Structure formats: structure tokens, C-alpha cells
């Protein structure tokens, strides 16, 4: 395998065994933190802590060097001072370790000596074939085997296994920086590429294209190392699953900031825009979209077209949603005469899209039965491909009623849904959010985001069918 | 006072006494709901329930008609069927009631008979001088006296008195549809104008321009009844306080939806854009901005210029923030040599803006002391007008430490701040949010929104100083 072709990153994400290099000082040592996190998350592989200063950590034997370990080792995680890192990687290569994730900072991004150490790493990679993610990264997480490289304190309820892989070039995207547990984010993998001294975004995309657990890729990039290779890899992904790209640095000032952070030229904005379009990826515009938009692909079917129905409980809200639909490339569905009749029977003023349920809900004795009938009627119209549905969760008692409504609806509809929930109390909204997401209903805290997500789903659906 | 000039809406928001017209049936009656809410919120004025079917509600005497009440009555709230509303308003006018808020639906917006009833209301207004908000509204709230007209179940912790007045033309903006208590929203007044059969957006703006409790107006409009009058009123507001306008219906389809909802033509998009700019108001682009942006004016000083400092804990996040700053009309501050020196002494790579604190925080024993010094150094630079500051709240113990840091900072800085908080647990974030907001620090859940808010503050500051 030549240096450029190797893109099987299996050993990074799916190691059967891992050596951990870093201070094993109790509680505050970052190597200690990594071992603690691996155990706490329930990583099922073997863990080999390595440190010349400790013989034991959390009841496990620590090794003074990697040579001392008799068993084969797939991966290593390193968080030691820069001058010590190249020798450690060299020893790992000798030992036959396949994949090293280097968390340590102060390499190329810091200038000076750091540049030299990073160059030494590149040289070891070329010479030995070992592979490196980083340095200067919070590294990886894989929900499938609970493997993670993060050394910091992490407190989550159970993390939910799902189809979204988040890739980035910043430590902001890590297990410590997001409400993974509380928001039941359906995550497959997380990867911060850091300084990209070896593994780059093209390698990662090639791996993710083939990864059966990844259903959608949300990727933040600051720069691209090899344009044509990146585009080829992106095309491979898009053929199989949606690729959402967030590339900040649109403004000249932003591009300058990116250059100073990533230590590389960010390239021409127009070139990126064209390239992203050409490969059929979808460009995102901010971090909120980066986190929120992929959920639409996590559990919902792809829409067969771009005709949206918008259901609100207050007319004024629908107008803004229509604006968002149009700018997101959706068209406002026109209901068939049969659907319009059904709706008019429920309430005379219900035949238009957006459907404003407000007037009936405030006078009905059983508003949820009505809401259910309206949703079913609208979504069974052949002129409707997807729907953004407003759900009012005023107080706790409504949670169970709303869950029941969607349970009833599930067998009655097979189109793409995105929900907007709102109400008066954060704990109630959070619990409603959790219960809907757990049932495969992408839930948003503003209607515009729900509509935008449907627009993105329809766009990928178009790309996919035009490529087939 | 002529019909067109009267814009003192005092009696709507500050009545010393109110008559409530609506079903007093226990729990489910909407008149009952209004009385219950007035009592529960602690409205300090006198409440007179009126119903021919009940003699008592919640231990208070109910009156069979408004004539029966001996005392003078400032305001009335009406939620009875449309045909009964004009006679009620007529009786109120005879009794000398000044202001009637009509919650009932099915007037002009419903077509048919509803149009006729609304016309009758307009006729009564012209003839008697009584004033009407609505019909088809959730009405009003005034934090100063805890007066509200909402008939639905409302569950909030204590609502916080503050400077923001939210105006709209949809029931979405009401006390039942937002996390007022949990998010400690600093609210002055809320007003849904509904069908605007009498009081319109110009009346409301004129009243709010003079209202000492209102520091900033966030207004949603679907249409404007009288362009020149609206612009004049908007100008009056802008001279004294910021006016943020959210006018959806930008797309043709959105404009059509607005027309069908509000029953009036939405007008040309370009005309609105020009008019909003001419009066010095700031146009918002979605509901999230409508709710979030005004907080920047609630407790912070206006920035004296548009030069922003951006502080992050991860370099990748700063790049997107720079993009947002530029599109929001801000410029990226260049630190003075003295500040750059100070920062370099703290850490060699800290002299640039955005300031990326990530590298030092992960190696420092006292990261918050460092962060405090950096924030103080940056904000005391004469080249910096405002700052967006990232705050990582990984777990509960950090809340008190972060509060203490900002308490230390308070006497050391006098510039405009907006914070972004992030972390792993929703309850921790919510508590941090609450504690920071209570201390007058506008807090956002994404960095882009924090930057955008500063951009809006700088724009208003420019408008204000150019008008002086």
C-alpha cells in the first residue's frame, strides 16, 4: 500500500487493544484521564497504560515502555510533551502498533520547535507505515465499541448509538463539549483531525464511506490538504450517504483567522463553494447547523420530492417557515382536492398550507385527536413529500399524550417528518425532546431549523436519485 | 383627541381595574382562566368577573353585566363568542371603560359573519372613543403590575421584570409559549395585536417610545396599516431605544401565507427593507433572533464602536465567529502593542484576535485566573469596543467558579459583553445561563448568536450617535 492510498482507519476507531501514553498521576494526569474514560465508557478492548513513573493505575498494571508489553497492540493514544512524542511513536512502530492518536499540543500550530517535532512524526510515518491522527486533537470516539481518546473529565448519561459521524478540525468537537447524553444524539463516531500531520479529511471520508455504522457525515473543515483526493473521497461518501460540510472562513478576515489557527492556507472561498456543489455535498453555515441538521438523516426516510407541508398552532409562525422553506429549496405543497375536503370537514378554514391548527385547538375538547387526524390527512396526500410539524408542550402532562399521538401516527405515515417543540418549561421541553428523538422523530427547538433540515434531506434525495 | 392621534395605551397595560368577560365554568372556562391567571400572577388591580351564568368565581363575586359594577372600570378583557362581543364592547363604552382587549377568534380572519362583527367593533370605536386591541389575540402582559389577559394554563417560576417589550401579530408570542421563567427573560411587556381592528403597530410604538420600563422593542409584524404613521412612530422609538423588527414574508410564497393569515396585503418586500433602514430600526431574520437578540440591550452598555474581541477555548470556533462578526457589521479589533505584550506574557501565542485560550487552559492549574486576566487585558484595550466570550461549563462545580470570575471582572471592565456557554449537561447549562443572565450578562447557546447580538448593539449605537 502506498502512502497516499492507505485510508483504512479501522485501527484508530476499532482497536482490539490500546496503549495509553501520558501521566498516570491520579485524577489530574491526562493519561490517567484517558484510562479512566476508557473504563468508564466501557471500552471492550484491552488497555495498556505506559509510564516510566508508575507501575499501576486504577488497579491495572502500568508498563514502563511499549516493548515490555507481550501482547500485540493495535492502537496507541499519546498525551506527553512534544519532545517525547517522536520516540514514543518510533517505539510503537517497532512494536507493530498500527494507529497512533496524538492528543499533545504545541507541534506545528505553535511554531518553533513544535514544527520540528511534527516533521519528525511525518518522517516516521513515511518510513514505517504507522499512521497518525493529530497531533493537537481531542481525538476520537466510537459509539460501537465505546472507544475514546479524550483525557478530560466527561460526565454523560448513557450515550446513544446512532448513525451520525461528526468530523472536525477543532477540539470543540469532542465528547466533553456537547450534550451527547441529555440530547440523546444518535452518534456513530467523532473525530477531530487536529494538525493532520498524516491522516487527513480524505482518508477519513474514505473510511466513513465504507463504515456501515455511519449513515450521515457532518464535517467541519478549515483547509483541505489535497483538493482532488478530497473531492474523490467526498464523491464516494455522497454515493452512499449524505455529506454535510461546514467550512468557515467565508470572509477574508475569517480565512485569515483560519490560516493562523490551522497553520495552513484556507484557499479561495469560491473554489470551495464550487467543489462542495460538484461532489454533491451540502454546505452548512454555522455550528448550530453542524450539530442539528444531520439528525434528519438519522432515522427518517428520505423525502421523494421537495414539497413540504407546514403545520403550525399559530398562523404567524407559518409565514416565517414558508420563507425558510423557499430559501432551503423546498416548495410549498398544494393539497389535493380530496385532502382539502378532508381538512375542511375537520374545520372549514383548514384547507391551506401552512395548516394553522390554532383556531381549532383552542376550542376543541380533544385537540390531540384532531391534530392527529390533520397530520395523517396531510401526510397521506400524494402531493406532500415531507412535513414540519409544530408541537406545543405547555406542561408535563402533555408529554405522554403527544408521545401517544405520534405512536398512533407511525403506522399511518411513511414520509419525512421534522418536529418543532415549544412550551414554558425547560425540563418539560428537554424530556419531550428526548422521548421524541428516542422514537426516531427529529426534533428541533425552532421551526426554521426543522424546515431547513427537511430542505437538506430533499436536496440529498435529489442528488442521490440524479446519481443513480 | 382625534381617532388617529390617540396612542396612549396606558389603560390596556396599566389598568387599576379590569372586567373579565368569558365563561366562568371552573377550570375549563376561559374567563375562569383569565381570572385565575390574574390572581396567580399577582395583578394588583381590581378584578370584576362578568357572566350571566355565574354569581361567583374563585371566591369572588361575579357580575351579571358591567352596568351592575358600581366602581369605575379602566379595562376589559373579552373572550366570548363573536356575536356577543359588539354588545359587550358597547356596554363597556357606556360604562366608561377605556380599553378592551378582545381575545375571541373568528372575526375578520375567519371571513363570513366574522367580518361583520369586526366591522361593528370598528364602528363602536369611532363612535364612542373606546379603544380595542384584537380581536383574535392572546393579548397582553405587563411585568410591572403583573397584568395579563391570557386565558390558558400558565406555569412559570417567577417572571423577571426587565426592559424587553415583545410585540407581535401572532398568538405564538404569549405567556404560554415561551420559557419566560426558566430563561429569566427580562421582560417589560408583551403584546399580540391580533387583527388590529383598532390599535395598530404605530399606536403601540408610540406608547412604547414613552414607556419608561421598555428599554428595547422586539416587534414582529406581518403588515403595516399606515406606512407614514408607522415610520413616524418607529422613528420616535429609535430616538430613545432600539427597535428590532422581524417581518417574515420575504419570499413571494411567504407573503401569500401572511396575506391569508392576517387577512391583509403584506406589501412589497423592498419597500419594507428600505423603510426599516430609513427609520434606523434593525431588521431580524427569524424567530430565534426575535427572542434572543434584544437581551443585548437589557443590561449591557452600548458599545462605543464596532471593534469586537472574540475569546474562544478552541481555535476552530473563532473562525466561524469572525465570519459572523463581519456579516454583522463588526470589525475584528487589533490589539494595541501594550495589550499584545500583556497577552504574550501570559502565553506566547495569545496576541491575536480571536484569542484562543484552549492551549493554556488545558495545561494551567488555575485556568479561571488566567481566563480572567486575559478577558481584563483584552477589554481594557482602547481598540476594543465589545467582546464575545466563550465559557465552558463542563460540570456543575464550575458554575460557582465562573460566577466568581465574572464578579471579579465586573469592576474591571465597562464594555459590552456577550457570552457563549457550552458543556455536557442541560441542567448545568440552564443553571449557568440563569445565574449569568441574573447578573446582567447576556448569555447565548451558540457563539454566532453572541456575536450577532454585539453586531446589532453596535449598529444601534451608530444610529443613535448619528442622530444626536
What pLDDT is recorded for position A7?
Answer: 62
Domain for residue A1, yes or no? no
Q: Name the closest residue on chain A to residue B194, using Cα atoms.
A: A316
CA distance A212 to chain B (A): 27
Q: Which positions 269-288 of B are in contact with A (Cβ < 8 Å)?
A: 286-288
Residues of A in contact with B349 (CB under 8 A): 110-111
Are residues A131 and A112 part of one domain?
Answer: yes
Are residues A96 and A23 part of one domain?
Answer: yes
For the residues A298-306, what does the mean pLDDT come to? 96
Q: Name the closest residue on chain B to residue A180, using Cα atoms.
A: B424
Domain for residue B99, yes or no? yes
Q: Which positions 36-95 of A are in contact with B (Cβ < 8 Å)?
A: none
Are residues A287 and A238 part of one domain?
Answer: yes
A334 touches chain B (CB under 8 A): no
For the residues A277-294, what does the mean pLDDT come to? 97
Return the closest-CA partner of residue A205 out of A185, A191, A186, A195: A191
pLDDT in tens, A134-144: 999 998 999 99
B393 touches chain A (CB under 8 A): no
Q: What are phi and psi of A181, to 5 degrees?
A: -75, -55
Nearest-angstrom CA–CA distance, B118 and B111: 10
Q: What is the CATH number of the domain that holds A343?
A: 3.40.50.261
Domain for residue B1, yes or no? no
Are residues A181 and B222, on separate chains, in Cβ contact within 8 Å?
no
> Of A237, A260, A295, which marks where a domain is finished?
A295
Q: Which positions 414-433 of B are in contact with A (Cβ < 8 Å)?
A: 422-427, 429-430
Listed as ranges, residues in chain B with pLDDT below 70 are 1-7, 260-267, 468
pLDDT tier for residue A28 given thresholds of 50, 70 and 90 = confident
Asked whether A53 and A24 are in contact (CB, 8 A), the reply is yes
Residues of B in contact with A395 (CB under 8 A): 153, 155
> Of A295, A311, A336, which marks where a domain is finished?
A295
- Which DSSP letter does residue A424 get? S
Are residues B352 and A260, on separate chains, in Cβ contact within 8 Å?
yes
Higher pLDDT: B57 or A27? It is B57
Are residues B326 and B197 part of one domain?
Answer: no
Domain for residue A193, yes or no? yes
Are residues B409 and B340 part of one domain?
Answer: yes
Are residues B306 and B422 part of one domain?
Answer: yes
Q: What is the pTM of this model?
A: 0.96
pLDDT in tens, A74-92: 999 999 999 999 999 999 9
> Of A295, A315, A347, which marks where a domain is finished?
A295
Domain for residue A3, yes or no? no
Domain for residue A5, yes or no? no
Higher pLDDT: B165 or A254? It is B165
- Top residue of A169, A223, A323 to mutate, by most chain B CBs within 10 Å, is A323
Nearest-angstrom CA–CA distance, B59 and B203: 37
Closest CB to A426 among B182, B315, B358 = B182
What pLDDT is recorded for position A185?
Answer: 98
Percent of chain A with pLDDT over 90: 83
pLDDT in tens, A331-377: 999 999 999 999 999 988 888 999 999 888 777 778 899 999 999 99
C-alpha cell at B294: 434584544
B251 touches chain A (CB under 8 A): yes
Are residues A345 and A275 part of one domain?
Answer: no
CA distance B152 to chain A (A): 9
CA distance B307 to chain A (A): 13
Closest CB to B288 among A349, A425, A446 = A446
Asked whether B348 and B391 are in contact (CB, 8 A), the reply is no
Q: What are phi and psi of A344, to 5 degrees?
A: -60, -30
Instruction: Give the residue numbers spanning the domain of B445.
Output: 301-467
Nearest-angstrom CA–CA distance, B385 and B314: 22
What pLDDT is recorded for position B3?
Answer: 45
User: Is pLDDT of A3 > 50?
Assistant: no
For the residues A242-265, what does the mean pLDDT come to? 79
Q: Which positions 218-237 of A are in contact with B (Cβ < 8 Å)?
A: 220, 222
Q: Name the closest residue on chain B to residue A390, using Cα atoms.
A: B172
B110 touches chain A (CB under 8 A): yes
Residue partners of A244: CB distance under 8 A and separation at least 6 = A216, A217, A218, A219, A281, A282, A283, A284, A289, A290, A293, A294, A456
Percent of chain A with pLDDT over 70: 96
Region of poorest pLDDT, from A61-70, A374-383, B222-231: B222-231
Q: Name the closest residue on chain A to residue B192, using Cα atoms.
A: A316
Domain for residue B110, yes or no? yes
Closest CB to B253 among A182, A332, A362 = A332
Are residues A174 and A41 part of one domain?
Answer: yes
B185 touches chain A (CB under 8 A): no
Domain for residue B366, yes or no? yes
Determine the straight-line distance between the first and last CA of chain A, rounded to whole angstroms.
31
Q: How many helices (H) and strands (E) would you count in chain B? A: 17, 20
Q: How many helices (H) and strands (E) would you count in chain A? A: 17, 20
Q: Point out which residues pair with B417 in neighbouring strands.
A: B387
CA distance B156 to chain A (A): 7
pLDDT tier for residue A27 given thresholds of 50, 70 and 90 = confident
Are residues A252 and A308 part of one domain?
Answer: no
Omega within 30 of 0 (cis) for the link into A135: yes
pLDDT in tens, A403-459: 999 999 999 889 999 999 999 999 999 999 999 999 999 999 999 999 999 999 999
Say how far residue A130 (Cα) sits from the centre of its chain: 27
Question: How many structural domains are present in chain B?
Answer: 2
Are residues B322 and B240 part of one domain?
Answer: no
A399 touches chain B (CB under 8 A): no
A349 touches chain B (CB under 8 A): yes
Nearest-angstrom CA–CA distance, B143 and B213: 9
Are residues B274 and B422 part of one domain?
Answer: no
State the DSSP H helix or E strand holding residue A161, giving kind and residue range, or none if neither. strand A161-168
Are residues A202 and A177 part of one domain?
Answer: yes
Amino acid at each position: 500500500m502506498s502512502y497516499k492510498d492507505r485510508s483504512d482507519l479501522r485501527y484508530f476507531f476499532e482497536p482490539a487493544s490500546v496503549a495509553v501514553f501520558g501521566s498516570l498521576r491520579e485524577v489530574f494526569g491526562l493519561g490517567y484521564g484517558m484510562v479512566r474514560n476508557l473504563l468508564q465508557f466501557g471500552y471492550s478492548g484491552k488497555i495498556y497504560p505506559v509510564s516510566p513513573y508508575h507501575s499501576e493505575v486504577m488497579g491495572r498494571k502500568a508498563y514502563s515502555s511499549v516493548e515490555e508489553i507481550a501482547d500485540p497492540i493495535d492502537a496507541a493514544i499519546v498525551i506527553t510533551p512534544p519532545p517525547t512524542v517522536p520516540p514514543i511513536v518510533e517505539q510503537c512502530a517497532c512494536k507493530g502498533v498500527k494507529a497512533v492518536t496524538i492528543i499533545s499540543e504545541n507541534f506545528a500550530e505553535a511554531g518553533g520547535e513544535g514544527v520540528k517535532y511534527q516533521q519528525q512524526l511525518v518522517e516516521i510515518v513515511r518510513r514505517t507505515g504507522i499512521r497518525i491522527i493529530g497531533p493537537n486533537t481531542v481525538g476520537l470516539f466510537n459509539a460501537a465499541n465505546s472507544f475514546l481518546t479524550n483525557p478530560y473529565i466527561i460526565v454523560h448519561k448513557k450515550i446513544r448509538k446512532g448513525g451520525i459521524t461528526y468530523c472536525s478540525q477543532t477540539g470543540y468537537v469532542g465528547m466533553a463539549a456537547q450534550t451527547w447524553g441529555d440530547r440523546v444524539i444518535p452518534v456513530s463516531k467523532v473525530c477531530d483531525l487536529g494538525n493532520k500531520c498524516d491522516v487527513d479529511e480524505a482518508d477519513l471520508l474514505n473510511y466513513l464511506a465504507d463504515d456501515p455504522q455511519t449513515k450521515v457525515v457532518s464535517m467541519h473543515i478549515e483547509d483541505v490538504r489535497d483538493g482532488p483526493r478530497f473531492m474523490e473521497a467526498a464523491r464516494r461518501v455522497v454515493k452512499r450517504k449524505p455529506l454535510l460540510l461546514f467550512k468557515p472562513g467565508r470572509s477574508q478576515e475569517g480565512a485569515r483567522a483560519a490560516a493562523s489557527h490551522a497553520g495552513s492556507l484556507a484557499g479561495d472561498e469560491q473554489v470551495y463553494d464550487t467543489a462542495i456543489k460538484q461532489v454533491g455535498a451540502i454546505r452548512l453555515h454555522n455550528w448550530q447547523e453542524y450539530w442539528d441538521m444531520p439528525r434528519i438523516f438519522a432515522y427518517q426516510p428520505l423525502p421523494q420530492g421537495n414539497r413540504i407541508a407546514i403545520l403550525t398552532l399559530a398562523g404567524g409562525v407559518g409565514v416565517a417557515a414558508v420563507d425558510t422553506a423557499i430559501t432551503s429549496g423546498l416548495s410549498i405543497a398544494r393539497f389535493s382536492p380530496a385532502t382539502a375536503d378532508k381538512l375542511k370537514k375537520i374545520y372549514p378554514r383548514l384547507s391551506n398550507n401552512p395548516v394553522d391548527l390554532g383556531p381549532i385547538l383552542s376550542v376543541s375538547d380533544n385537540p390531540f385527536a384532531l391534530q392527529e387526524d390533520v397530520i395523517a390527512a396531510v401526510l397521506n396526500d400524494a402531493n406532500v413529500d415531507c412535513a414540519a410539524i409544530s408541537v406545543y408542550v405547555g406542561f408535563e402532562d402533555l408529554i405522554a399524550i403527544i408521545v401517544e399521538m405520534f405512536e398512533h401516527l407511525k403506522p399511518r405515515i411513511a414520509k419525512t417528518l421534522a418536529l418543532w417543540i415549544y412550551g414554558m418549561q425547560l425540563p418539560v421541553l428537554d424530556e419531550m425532546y428526548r422521548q421524541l428523538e428516542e422514537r426516531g422523530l427529529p426534533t428541533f427547538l425552532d421551526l426554521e431549523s426543522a424546515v431547513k433540515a427537511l430542505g437538506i434531506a430533499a436536496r440529498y434525495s435529489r442528488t442521490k436519485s440524479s446519481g443513480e
